[in-house]
Amino acid sequence: MTLLLVAALVSLAQFTHQTPSDARSNQFEDPKGSSWRVFAVDSYAGGPLAITEVAELRQQNPPSLWAVSVKNRSSEQLASFTLAAAIVAGDGTVKAIQRLPAIKNVKPNQAARRELRVTATVLTPTDRVVFFVSDVSHGSDAWKAEEAEVGALIKAAARRLPVP
């Protein structure tokens, strides 16, 4: 009986112990579609809004369109929020920031998708597009991203997803 108990505890420890390279430890870290070319940073960690998917929508004629999907993960309606796209050089420096039009009245658990064409700067082959939450207004609370903090998050993510 004790042998079975020890075996069960050992197998349980194997399933709950995660190493940093374990796929289970980062399965929810990056939004769907993230790559070195397009990704997102969580500028409002623990906030009511989550970026769930990013994508480059290639077209027959350049330039590409870029897409971002978000979800209201709170139990309250969001009055409005603004997303932004940072254009980042291959070395991780932010070249430009392009804000998207505000999205208003997002119900709890509602998702929204926006597509944009980057017009803030000319993209080079090693540039990337990084989405982040710029500001959120819900109820009487308002939050706005600090550019220095977002810049640090972008640099860290750019090091994690290097240009090939």
State the pLDDT at residue 42: 93
Q: Do β-strands 38-40 and 128-138 pair in parallel, antiparallel, or remain unpaired?
A: parallel
State the pLDDT at residue 140: 76
- Which of the 8 DSSP states describes residue 123? P
The pair of structure tokens assigned to 129 is 């597009």
* Distance, CA of 71 to CA of 69 (rounded, Å): 7
The pair of structure tokens assigned to 28 is 């929810």
pLDDT tens, residue order, the chain (164 aa)? 555 444 444 454 444 444 343 333 344 467 888 888 999 999 998 889 999 999 999 877 777 899 999 999 988 899 999 999 999 998 888 999 999 999 999 999 999 999 998 887 888 888 999 999 999 998 778 899 998 999 999 999 998 888 88
> Strand order of the sheet with strand 111-117?
49-57, 65-72, 111-117
| Domains defined for the chain, CATH in brackets | 28-160 (2.60.40)
State the pLDDT at residue 162: 85
State the pLDDT at residue 52: 94
State the pLDDT at residue 15: 43
Concatenated DSSP letters of 74-120: SSS-EEEEEEEEEEE-TTS-EEEEEEPPPEEEEPTT-EEEEEEE--S
Quote the pTM value. 0.77
State the pLDDT at residue 3: 53
From the number of C-beta atoms within 10 Å of its C-beta (0-12, 13-18, 19+), residue 91 rates as exposed
Residues 6+ positions from 154 with CB-CB distance below 8 Å: 41, 86, 88, 92, 94, 130, 132
